[in-house]
């Protein structure tokens, strides 16, 4: 039962343009959401997070938007750079719990 879904397995974007990665979830008890970035042969690295009390969190070129009513979040990267090419995982957790539920990932390719 996949509680966190990333329906786009891949995305290609031109350098300098905006990358938008989407994530949907089914569990209304999720209250904390995170994005991770993964390069080949490495472990995922934490990128940005958002609490359910917010609808937006920004960190440099990265912004995460949360729409609780739609159970949807998105990661915006602008401007996209070739070094952003990686697999991006969306993750969510329930209040009081420490384990994260991950999506299946979206492979982003930024074309120079």
Partner 1 sequence: NAGVMQNPRHLVRRRGQEARLRCSPMKGHSHVYWYRQLPEEGLKFMVYLQKENIIDESGMPKERFSAEFPKEGPSILRIQQVVRGDSAAYFCASSSVIQEGYTFGSGTRLTVV
Closest distance to partner 1 from the beta carbon of 51 (Å): 8
Helix (H) or strand (E) holding 94: strand 86-94
Could you list the residues that contact partner 1 (CB under 8 A)?
A: 2, 6, 32, 34, 36, 41-46, 49, 51, 89, 93, 97-105
Q: Max CA-CA distance within the chain?
A: 43
The residue among 69 and 99 lying less far from partner 1, judged by its C-beta, is 99
The residue among 60 and 112 lying less far from partner 1, judged by its C-beta, is 60
Picking from 100, 86, 105, the residue whose alpha carbon sits closest to that of residue 7 is 105
The residue among 18 and 97 lying less far from partner 1, judged by its C-beta, is 97
> Using DSSP, how many helices (H) and how many strands (E) does the chain show?
0, 11
């Amino acid at each position: 039962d996949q509680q966190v879904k990333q329906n786009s397995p891949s995305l290609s974007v031109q350098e300098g343009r905006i990358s938008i990665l989407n994530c949907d979830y089914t569990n209304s008890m999720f209250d904390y959401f995170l994005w991770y970035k993964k390069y080949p042969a490495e472990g995922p690295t934490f990128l940005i997070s958002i609490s359910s009390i917010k609808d937006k969190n920004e960190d440099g070129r990265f912004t995460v938007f949360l729409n609780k009513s739609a159970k949807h979040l998105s990661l915006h990267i602008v401007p996209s750079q070739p070094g952003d090419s990686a697999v991006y995982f969306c993750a969510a957790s329930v209040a009081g719990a420490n384990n994260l539920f991950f999506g299946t990932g979206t492979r982003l390719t930024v074309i120079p």
